[in-house]
């Protein structure tokens, strides 16, 4: 599947020099969207997965569809202050400062196996924080799935160094 042809690139967004990879065009294509979800699900057929965790915001769309296909629950990994109940969180470094991701304290059960899903892996900082957060809650992350890898930014290697398998559907050079 030529995913790259279904993903719009927006130059200089959100700042000069950044090439934003916009999956909304992939989501609008019925065949492309279905194929992407199928390819994010297939490698996990027969593997025990108790829930899919999706990182805000495009990870919600993809992760929800993957969870549906796997017949498991969905865990939203949100930015600080977005969840309405008792939360646990994990801070992570940004280029200028820090940010935080959170889940509800009761989002995962101890010992459960979680698949992490998002649209894109860049530096891996948000994904690493989500993994640590899920582990802090007592669950195990069994793998991470993304539509896009930006290999020049090293995120995939960062997650693989944590001992996790990373699945991506396509790569883009640069940032």
DSSP H/E element including 19: strand 19-22
> Is 90 designated active site?
no
* Helix orientation angle between 30-41 and 58-70, rounded to the nearest 10 degrees: 60
One of 34, 48, 56, 58 is an active-site residue; which one?
58
> Is 171 designated active site?
no
One of 15, 48, 95, 173 is an active-site residue; which one?
95
3 state SS for 42-76: HHHCCCCCCEEEEECCHHHHHHHHHHHHHCCEEEE
- Rg over CA atoms, the chain: 15
Could you give the residue numbers annotated as active site? 58, 95
């Amino acid at each position: 599947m030529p995913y790259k042809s279904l993903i719009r690139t927006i130059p200089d967004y959100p700042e000069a020099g950044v090439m934003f990879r916009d999956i909304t065009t992939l989501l609008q294509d019925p065949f492309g969207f279905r194929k992407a979800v199928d390819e994010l699900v297939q490698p996990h057929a027969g593997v025990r997965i108790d829930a899919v965790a999706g990182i805000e915001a495009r990870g919600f769309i993809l992760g929800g569809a993957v969870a549906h296909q796997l017949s498991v629950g969905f865990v939203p990994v949100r930015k600080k202050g977005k969840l309405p109940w008792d939360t646990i969180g994990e801070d992570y470094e940004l280029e200028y400062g820090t940010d935080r991701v959170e889940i509800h304290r009761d989002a995962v059960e101890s010992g459960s196996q979680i698949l992490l899903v998002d649209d894109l892996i860049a530096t891996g900082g948000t994904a690493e924080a989500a993994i640590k957060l899920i582990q802090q809650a007592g669950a195990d992350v069994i793998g991470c799935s993304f539509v896009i890898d930006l290999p020049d930014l090293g995120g995939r290697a960062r997650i693989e160094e944590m001992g996790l398998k990373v699945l991506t559907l396509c790569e883009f050079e640069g940032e």
